[in-house]
Every structure is written in structure tokens, then in C-alpha cells.
Amino acid sequence: MPAIDFNSLRQQFPLLKERTYLASHTLGPLPQKAALDIEAYTKSLYLGKRALSIWLERYEQMFPLIETLLNAPTGSVAITASATAAQAAIAAAIQPNVKRNRIIVTDLDFSSCRYLWKSQVQRGFDLIEVVAADGMQISSADIIAKIDDRVAVVAVSLVSYLNSARLDIQPIIEAAHAAGAIVVLDAYQAMGVIPIDVTSLGADVVVGGTNKWLCGGVGLGFAYVEPSLAEQLDPVYPGWFAHLQPMAFAETFTPATGARRFQQGTPSIEPIYTSRAGIQFAIDTGVEQIHQRNIELTTYLIECADLYNIPILTPRSPHQRGGTVLLGVEQAATVVEKLAALGIDVDTRSSLGIRVSPHPCNTKQECQHLIENIVNIALRTKLG
């Protein structure tokens, strides 16, 4: 693998020049190139109906881009308004029956997904929530122990948004398939930082979106749906962008082939423009290369934190974590605010600690700078 000069690539990200920005898990820094796309979109807005064909062309270009990112076959990706919307379209198309009515989730999944899957109880499903026994990581064995022929769906996050714990997903997929269940994998926190090859993974549905490690701004979710599964599921609340021939405005709904049948009405066009450069950056740089760089930076970050005995609330093994490190810092919200005033951007969720996510173009010096400032703030807070 040729070495990548991340220092030169850094020039493509204006935010990285202005701030010590370590928050790719929430909003990845937008590449400079996106500004040109956004400008093109703004200009197109003044074209009125003449913009429609231009927008549709750009929209169509987005599918092969996402398919390339995921190594997904042509036609196996749907574009949605959010990752939750993508999962909702799949959930609605799966009916519970007396023999198979269970859904498995975990307590480390993203809140939005948990709301969605828990709400399926209203439709006759039973929910099983697997909890992280050590509070940090879900063991695949704990999930597999719950999988039997009563399970319809295993709906779990590959990488937890809370502490970046990463599931050992392959054995879970195998166990689910052996029991006749499907796996809906929320890989949002992995997109653009951990290589996802949906074909070799064998998951049934993989969802993600653009605003985190893909550095593409908000408003665009997507779902890979395994082609034969897509054909078996009938959409329950489709729209014209799910039709085989949207422009035919036919009387009856004929589902599109493949994943597009899970789409709905007119898509948002602005995120189609905003997100292209970030996805292209991930493809051009190589997600495997980005992953290796992330491991280098997060390992260094952990070493720096260890020097000051800052608890690490993310699994230490690079194979068991995503791109983020959760630092066990007390009064995290206050510390995050003070760091922001010093030009350092990180964040906190549920007062668990501070989430730190190095973009591949961040540096070791920036990781060290963050830790030193956390220590200084903590000392000042104690003394004060």
C-alpha cells in the first residue's frame, strides 16, 4: 500500500486550518471542493424547472459513488433522508407472525434506531435488548445466544455512537442467517473510517449517511439492501422515487427493482451536492488507508491519555473499536466548552466522557495538544 501524504491532503479541509478539530464522529470537516458543488447548486436554484434535469443527473451519479464506497452491486443502494428513514422503510416491509416476531437490538445502538425498532412492538413484534455486560462492549456471543427461529430481525450498530465499541458482526450474521433472521446493520459510525464491503460481509441491510466520517454535511442517508431480499420485500409506504418508472406517473405502484423500492418522495437535492466531495475523498484516499491512519492517531491519543491516567472508555484493541476514543473525563460538558474556547472541538454524550475522533488529516501533535489542555483544565477546575 503506497504511503499517503495526509499532511498535504490536509490543505483540502479549511476547518482543519482554523481549529483543532477532532469531532468527525458528529460532523466531519467539509472538503474545500464541496464549496464548488454548493455554489453550483445555489446557481441551479435560479434556473427554475430547467434545474430538474441537472439535479436528476447529479442524483443518479450519487448511486454508483455510494455503491463503490460499499462494494455494493449496481442497483442495491437506496438514497434516503436519514439512516432512520432507511431502516423504517425496511421495518415496515417486514411483518411479524406468531412464530417469528422478535427483534434484537442493543443498548449501545444509536437512540434514533432504538426508538424505531422499539416502536415495532406496536405492530406485534417483541423486542429483546442485549446490554453490554461490562458497560463498554457487547459480546457477539451474547447476541448469538438470543438468536433462534423466533427472531425476525437483528438490528444493531456496527460501531457504537457512545463509545465507539465495535461489534464482531460476522458470527452474528452467520447465526442470524442460520436461524432464518435478517440483519439490519447500522454502519453509520463506520462509513468512511472502517472499510465496509457489503458483498463479503453478507449483511442483508447496511445503512449509513454522509455527515460524519464521510465529511459530507447533513441530509443524506442511504441503505444497501441485498438484491434478493429487496425483491422479496414489498414496500409499505413507498413514493414515486420508489417506482419502477417514476416519470410514468402510473395509476398503480410498481416497485423499482432493487433497493430503490424503499425510497419515497422527492429527494433533497442540496445534500446530493454537499456530500459528493467527501465521499469521493474517502474513495480516492482509500478507506483502508484512512482506517490505518485513524488507528495510528487513536493509538497515540490513548498513549497520551495513559500518561495522565485518563480512563479510556473505548475498547483498547484497534479491532474492537471504531474511529473514536471516549475519554473518561469528569464534568465533560464543562471541559468541552472550555476546550472550544481554546479552539479545540470535541464533544460529549450522556455525560459519559469526551468523544475524540481524529480525521486522517489531523496530527499526533493535535492529539497531544488536546490531552494537555484537558489536563490543564481539570487541574484549574480542581484548584479553583
Binding site for ligand PLP (CB under 6 A): 82-84, 110, 112-113, 157, 161, 186, 188-189, 209, 221
| Residue 115 burial by Cβ neighbours in a 10 Å radius (0-12, 13-18, 19+) | exposed
Residue 255 main-chain phi, psi, to 5 deg: -60, 140
Q: How far is the CB of 356 from ligand PLP (least distance, A)?
A: 15
Q: How far is the CB of 181 from ligand PLP (least distance, A)?
A: 21
Give dist(CA 146, CA 140) in Å, integer. Answer: 10
Q: How far is the CB of 148 from ligand PLP (least distance, A)?
A: 26
Residues in Cβ contact with 350 at an 8 Å cutoff, skipping those fewer than 6 apart: 162
Q: How far is the CB of 90 from ligand PLP (least distance, A)?
A: 13
Residues in Cβ contact with 342 at an 8 Å cutoff, skipping those fewer than 6 apart: 373
Question: 155 by DSSP, 3-state: which?
Answer: strand
Using the minimum distance from each CB to ligand PLP, give the nearer residue, 100 or 355.
355
Using the minimum distance from each CB to ligand PLP, give the nearer residue, 223 or 230.
223
Q: How far is the CB of 150 from ligand PLP (least distance, A)?
A: 26
Using the minimum distance from each CB to ligand PLP, give the nearer residue, 9 or 354.
354
| Residue 87 burial by Cβ neighbours in a 10 Å radius (0-12, 13-18, 19+) | buried
For 108, what's the count of Cα atoms within 13 Å in the CB-facing half-sphere?
30
Using the minimum distance from each CB to ligand PLP, give the nearer residue, 278 or 310.
278
Give dist(CA 331, CA 384) in Å, integer. Answer: 14
Using the minimum distance from each CB to ligand PLP, give the nearer residue, 189 or 314.
189
Specify whether the CB–CB gap between 104 and 173 falls below 8 A: no
Q: How many residues in the chain?
A: 384
Give dist(CA 93, CA 87) in Å, integer. Answer: 10
Q: Which of 314, 277, 309 is nearest to 298 (CA)?
A: 314
Using the minimum distance from each CB to ligand PLP, give the nearer residue, 357 or 362.
357
Q: How far is the CB of 112 from ligand PLP (least distance, A)?
A: 5
Q: How far is the CB of 23 from ligand PLP (least distance, A)?
A: 12
Here the cell at position 307 is: 500518561
Q: Is the dihedral of CA 74, 79, 83, 89 positive or negative?
A: negative
Give dist(CA 87, CA 221) in Å, integer. Answer: 10
Specify whether the CB–CB gap between 366 and 360 falls below 8 A: no
Q: How far is the CB of 364 from ligand PLP (least distance, A)?
A: 26
Using the minimum distance from each CB to ligand PLP, give the nearer residue, 188 or 281.
188
Using the minimum distance from each CB to ligand PLP, give the nearer residue, 21 or 110.
110
